[in-house]
Structure 1
Amino acid sequence: MYTNTRFGELMKGIPRGMFERLVKKHQADKYSKGFRCWDQFATMLYGQMTGSQSLRELELSFNSHEGHHYHLGTRAVRRSTLADANNKRDVALYESLCQQLLQRARGQVKSQVTNMLYLLDSTPVPLKGLGYDDWAANGHRTPGLKVHMILEANQYVPTYAGITPSNINDIDDARQMEIESGATYVFDKGYYDYNWWHRINEEEALFVTRAKHNAALNLVNSLSIEGCADHILSDEAVRFKYRRPGGGRINQYRAALRRVIVHREDHDTPLVLLTNDFVRTAEEIAALYKQRWQIELFFKWLKQNLKIKRFLGRSENAVKTQIYIAIIAYVLLWLYRKAEGTGRSLTDCARLLASAAFQRPRSEYSIWKRRQQQREELLALQGNLI
Structure 2
Amino acid sequence: MDKNTLFSSFGKWLAPICTKTFTDRVNEINQDKYVKKQTTLAYFKLFLLAELKGRDGLRDIANDVLSLEIQRELNLPSISAAQLSRKHNQVDPALLEQVFTRLVKQIHSRANPHRSRNKLKIIDSTTIVLCLQKFKWAHFRSTKAGIKLHSRIAYWDDEDVYPDQVKVTPAKVNDRNLLEELADEEGVTYVFDRGYVDYAAYDRFCMNQIFFVTRLKNNAVIESLHTYDLPPNSTVSLDEKIRVGTQQKRMKHPLRMVQTVDSEGNLLFLLTNRFDLTADEIGEMYRSRWAIETFFKWMKQHIKIKTFYGTSENAVMNQVWMALIAYCLLALVKQETNTKHSLLEISRILKVLLWRSCREWFDLMNRPPSRKSAGRKKKEIP
When normalised by structure 2's length, the TM-score is 0.84
Q: CA deviation at 1:222?
A: 1.0
Letter in 2 for 1:270: L
Note closer, same or farther for the CA distance 1:214–1:130 as it changes in structure 2 (3 Å cut).
closer
Q: Percent of pairs identical after alignment?
A: 30
Q: How many residues align?
A: 355
- For residues 21 and 225 of structure 1, the distance between their equivalents in structure 2, rounded to whole angstroms, comes to 60
Cα separation, 1, equivalents of 2:346 and 2:355: 14
* Corresponding residue for residue 297 of structure 1: 294
In structure 2, the CA distance between the partners of 1:63 and 1:117, relative to structure 1 (3 Å rule), is farther
> How many angstroms apart in 1 are the aligned matches of 2:362 and 2:287?
43
Matched residue, 1:176: 181
Aligned Cα root-mean-square deviation (Å): 2.6
Which residue type is aligned with residue 76 of structure 2? R
Query: Conserved in 1, the CA contact under 8 Å of 2:353 and 2:361?
Result: no
What is residue 284 of structure 2 aligned with on the other side?
Answer: 287
Aligned residues of 1:117 and 1:184 also touching (Cα < 8 A): yes
Corresponding position of 1:208: 213
1:365–1:190 distance in 2 versus 1, CA, 3 Å: closer
The corresponding residue for 1:9 is 12
Matched, 1:86 2:88: yes
SS in 1 for 2:200: helix
Deviation of 1:91 (Å): 1.4
1:240 offset after TM fit, Å?
2.6
Alignment partner of 2:239 out of 223, 235, 242: 235
Aligned positions of 1:161-200 closer than 5 A:
161-177=166-182, 179-200=184-205
CA–CA distance in structure 2, aligned partners of residues 80 and 131 of structure 1: 18
For 2:7, the aligned partner's letter is N
Cα distance between partner residues in 2 of 1:151 and 1:363: 31
Long gaps (5+) in structure 1: 246-250, 367-386
Alignment of 1:52-91 (within 5 A): 52-64=55-67, 66-67=68-69, 70=72, 72=73, 74-78=75-79, 79-91=81-93
Cα deviation code 1:103-134 (max 9, x no counterpart): 332333364546221111111111115422x2
Counterpart of 1:144 (choices 134, 143, 146) is: 146
**Map of 1:103 onto structure 2:** 105
Does 2:114 align with 1:118? no
CA distance in 1, matches of 2:119, 2:324: 21
Aligned to 2:313: 316
Distance in 2 separating the partners of 1:243 and 1:18: 55
- Most deviating of 142-151 and 113-122: 113-122
Q: Deviations over 1:9-47 (max 9, x none)?
A: 111111123323432454433353442221111011000
Residues 123-164 of structure 1, C-alpha deviations (whole Å, 9 max, x = no match): 1111115422x2222326752111111111443111011111
Match of 1:378 in 2: none
Separation in structure 1 between the aligned mates of residue 94 and residue 199 of structure 2, nearest angstrom: 32
Give the partner amino acid of 1:235: D
1:135 aligns to what? 137
- The question of 1:353 aligning with 2:354 is answered no
* Contact persistence 1:261–1:272 (CA under 8 A): yes
Q: TM-score, normalised by structure 1?
A: 0.84
3-state SS, counterpart of residue 95 of structure 1: helix
Q: Which has the larger radius of gyration?
A: 1
Report how far residue 234 of structure 1 moved.
0.9
The 3-state SS of whatever aligns with 1:278 is: coil
CA-CA distance at 1:218 after TM superposition = 1.7
From the superposition, tell whether residues 53 and 258 of structure 1 become closer, same or farther in structure 2 (CA, over 3 Å). Answer: same
Indicate if the aligned counterparts of 1:50 and 1:354 stay in contact, CA closer than 8 A: yes
Q: Counterpart of 2:341 in 1: which secondary structure?
A: coil
- Partners of 1:364 and 1:162 in 2: how far apart? 33
Q: Is the alpha carbon distance of 1:99 and 1:223 closer, same or farther for their aligned partners in structure 2, counting shifts above 3 Å?
A: same
Partners of 1:265 and 1:126 in 2: how far apart?
28
Distance 1:199 1:63 in 2: 57
1:384 alignment partner in structure 2: none
- Alpha-carbon distance in structure 2 between the residues aligned to 1:74 and 1:160: 34
The 1:199–1:241 alpha-carbon spacing in structure 2 relative to 1, beyond 3 Å, is closer
Q: Residue in 2 aligned with 1:40?
A: 43
Letter matched to residue 260 of structure 1? V
Name the SS for the 2:131 alignment partner.
Answer: coil
Give the equivalent residue in structure 1 for 2:226.
Answer: 221
Distance in 1 between residues matched to 2:114 and 2:34, nearest whole Å: 43
For 2:233 and 2:201, locate their aligned partners in 1 and report how far apart those are by CA, in whole Å: 31
User: Equivalents in 2 of 1:53, 1:221: separation in Å?
Assistant: 58
The 2-side partners of 1:106 and 1:96 are apart by: 15
